[in-house]
Every structure is written in C-alpha cells, then in structure tokens.
Amino acid sequence: MTVATIPAPAFAIETYRLDNGLRVVLAPDPGAPVVGVAVVYDVGMRSEPEGRTGFAHLFEHMMFQGSHNVGKAEHMRHVQSAGGTFNGSTHIDYTDYFNLLPSNGLELALFLESDRMRGPAITEENLENQVSVVKEEIRVNVLNRPYGGFPWLKLPPVMFDTFPNAHDGYGSFGDLEAATVADAQAFFDAFYPASNAVLSVAGDFQLDTARELVQRHFGDVESRPAPVLPSFNEPDLDGERRESYADERATLPAVAMAWRTPDPVTEMDEFLPYVVLGELLTDGDASRLVERLVHQDRTATAVAAHATFMAEPFASRGPTALLIQAFLPPATDVDGLLATVDAELARVAEGVDEAELDRVKARVAAQLLRGDDSVMGRSRRLATAEIFHGDARVATRFAALLGEVTAESVAGAAASMTPQRRAILEVVPGGEQ
C-alpha cells in the first residue's frame, strides 16, 4: 500500500459552540439505525490537585449516582430499557461518558447527559459508597493482580519528577478516604463546566432535529469559565533511570522501558514517527522485536510497544513516551535483552525498507479506520479530537497523516531512543529481589 491509497473517512461533520461554552460535534450517518452520544470533559488523572490522587476516577463514578432529575441507578435503567448500552472511563488527560442507543433514543441520551452536567448528586452517602467502590477496583486491578499497574501506573514515577506526570492516578487510599463532600463539589465546579466539555453525536439522526434537541437540553446549563490547566512540562531525562520492584503474584520477570516523545498535540508531525516505530517494532510475528526476542533469541515470551502510557496516541497531550515492554522466561538476563533492544533500534536508525514501512503504516491506518466503523467509537474519537486538537475533523485525517510518515523520520525517531534518555522498570516475580 502506498501513501496515496490510505483513505480518509467521508462522513459529514458539523461543529459549533453553545452560549455556555459547550462545544458540539454532529456527525450524521444513516447507515446504521443507532446513535452514539459521548460527552468528554477536559480533565483526567494528570489534572488532579496534590492530595486528591484518584479524584478524576472517583468523580467518574460519582457522575453515575444520580442528578437533578435522575435517581441513583436510573441512568442505567433508562438506557438499558431503551435497548442501549452506556459507560464512562477515566484517562490520563480526559474523562468520557458515552451511550449507544437505537436512533429514537437520541433525546433520552441528551437528557441524561445534560442533567448530570448540571450537577450530580454529591451526597455523603454517595461519596462514601463510591470511595469504597474505587478502593475495591484498586485492590482487584492493581494490588491483588499479577503485574497490576504495570507499566502504565508504575513507570511514570520512574520517568517523571513533577506531581501531575508522576503520581498514581488510580489514587491512594489515604487521599480517597480523606475526600469530603466539599472536596467533591469543588472538583465538579472546577472541572465540569459546560465550557470544559465536548458533546459529540454520531449515527442516524437529522441535523436540524439534533441541533434543536441539543439546544433544548444543554442550552440552559449554567455558564461557568473553563479551568486553566496546570503546566505539565518538565525536562527530558539526561541519564538513564532504572528501578525494580517485587511482585509476589507475578510468575515471570518483566521489564518496561520508555523514552520521551514530542508532544502529540503541539508537535504532531514529529510525534507520528514514534507511533509508526512502535508498530514496526512489535506488531505481528514478523515485526523486529517479536522476531528477534520471541522467535530467534527466545529471551522474551511476549513483547509489545506503543506510544503514550495508555496507548492513545491521538488523545493525549504534553509529556508522554514510547513504551516497550516484555515478559521474560525465568532467569533471563535483563541487561542482555536491553542490549538487544538497543541493537534493533540501531538497525532501524540505519534505515527502514519502504516496503516494510508501507505494510506497517497500512496496518496502523486500518486499525484507526476500523475504529471509525463503530458509531460509538466514532463519536468518542471526534470528541477527543475536538478536545486535544481543537477540531473534530482532524480525527478523519489521522490515518492519512500516518501514511505520510517517512522512512527517514522513523529512523530519526529510533536514533533518538538512546540509553541516556531511557527509564526502565523491572518486575521481579515471587516477591524476591
């Protein structure tokens, strides 16, 4: 596949802003009798104030505890009774809430999302209950799970120094237990105004009808200024950092390594080669590191690479990284594996075959385009593009932009990944170090 053959999706997109600052994205598509409604707030784990670790995730839970006209658990009951599904998720730089319903459920979804945008039911009972739920999630997903938090929670503190970039976004039990109703209300007031959100609607609807319904349900939401996000900037590493920790539930050793990349938003052209490089290194059995580490040397049982800590290259901003992680057979020499990774990066830095690069870019583009086939995925991607890039339409160009990445730029990205700029985290199995 050549660059020219990577297509851009051809669905219509309309964007505008309500008087209260809410940004609206409408992407009609009559091809499927469903509608996806997503609301994305420009607040994530990195925005949390000190002493409030885990608050972004906690507040995602609080938003499902009822609101002005919707009782506890009624959001779920209304959506499921209408034949739909719903969920929410917390990320490093944003929080989203999304609903997929039959076409006739558009107004229901808009009503539910606008009602909690006006204000969730922040009560002592709801807060105490959801703190307990979040703590249990931490136990299940991190504390009591093999490799829990590896590497996305465990590696940033090795790589970064500032609180926004280095802290545990899942949250400490101490911070969560200390949360008060006043703290929760202050978090909502600061980060959940309409002016800090994007409403995205995709699927089977008429534009005129959608505009009228959006105005009806969101037009009178209180107008409040958007927060000024703190600076996330900090210097790149000037020397290798390396730490390890024991995991009594792990059965195999593991290692993750990361290098800073250019900013995905302000330096997108320089960032994209790292996205392609990650795929070139580990996507498929014929990829560089899978072939070398897993099949040839057998020094790894599995290896993966991706740009950004949550593998969201187009929904992140500020300091981030290209990560490579591997699980190793028992008693494998970690230093030997690191040396092999360095050698393979050096090979890429010497030059990339155009045919290999075209295959990699085609796979990356296909994955993005498949994501847009889903109405729900499309509505969420358009919303995050509006949040991070200031224009939802950029989402339709991601695949084509990756197709324009050159062999020279991928080689340059590999050349920049030197040991002096690397953070390394090792997992020692069996609780022994």
Same-domain pairing of 249 and 213: no
Strands 23-28 and 197-203: parallel
Q: What is the pLDDT of residue 75?
A: 94
Dist CA 191 CA 398 (whole Å): 28
Residue 209, domain extent: 3-218
Distance, in Å, from the CA atom of 243 to the CA atom of 426, rounded to the nearest integer, reads: 6
DSSP H or E run through 188: helix 181-191
Name residue 199's amino acid.
L
**Cβ-Cβ contacts under 8 Å for 232 (sequence gap 6 or more):** 46, 162, 164, 165, 317, 318, 319
On whether both 102 and 166 belong to a single domain, the answer is: yes
> Is residue 232 assigned to a domain?
no
Per-residue pLDDT at 10: 66
Residues 322 and 204 in one domain: no
pLDDT exceeding 90 applies to what percent of the chain?
Answer: 88
CA 382 → CA 14, 33, 36, 39, distances in Å? 11, 19, 11, 11
Lowest mean pLDDT among 31-40, 112-121, 206-215, 358-367: 358-367
CATH number, domain containing residue 400:
3.30.830.10
User: 98: which strand partners?
Assistant: 38, 87
Range with the largest mean pLDDT of 1-5, 36-40, 313-317, 332-336: 36-40
Is 143 found in the same domain as 272?
A: no
Q: Which residues contact 146 (CB under 8 A, 6 or more apart)?
A: 247, 249, 250, 251
Residue-level length of the chain: 433
Q: Is residue 171 part of a domain?
A: yes
Name the domain boundary from 166, 187, 218.
218
Would you say residue 130 lies in a domain? yes
pLDDT score of 432: 53
Do 97 and 37 belong together in one domain? yes
pLDDT band for 216, please (50, 70, 90 cuts).
Answer: very high
What is the structure's pLDDT at 364?
87
What's the CA gap between 297 and 182, in Å, rounded?
57
Q: Last residue of a domain, which of 187, 218, 249? A: 218
The SS3 of residue 170 is coil
- Kindly tell me if the per-residue pLDDT of 25 is higher than 80: yes
Sequence-separated (6 or more) residues with CB below 8 Å from residue 178: 51
Q: What is the crossing angle of helices 354-373 and 268-282, to 10°? A: 100
215: its two tokens: 């105005």
Return the bridge partners of 424, or none. 242, 257
184 with 245, same domain: the answer is no
Contact 210, 26 (CB under 8 A): yes
Q: Is residue 197 part of a domain?
A: yes
Q: Residues 260, 261, 263, 267: is their CA dihedral positive or negative?
A: positive
Is the pTM above the cut of 0.85? yes
Of 218, 250, 266, the one marking the end of a domain is 218
- Give the residue-averaged pLDDT of 141-158: 95
Report the candidate in 236, 219, 267 with the shortest Cα–Cα distance to residue 114: 219
Q: Among 319, 431, 411, which residue's Cα sits nearest to residue 357?
A: 411
Residue 408 burial by Cβ neighbours in a 10 Å radius (0-12, 13-18, 19+):
exposed
Question: Does the residue 225 lie in any domain?
Answer: no
pLDDT of residue 8: 61
207 and 339 co-located in one domain: no
Number of domains in the chain: 2
Q: How far apart are CA 145 and CA 150, in angstroms?
A: 10
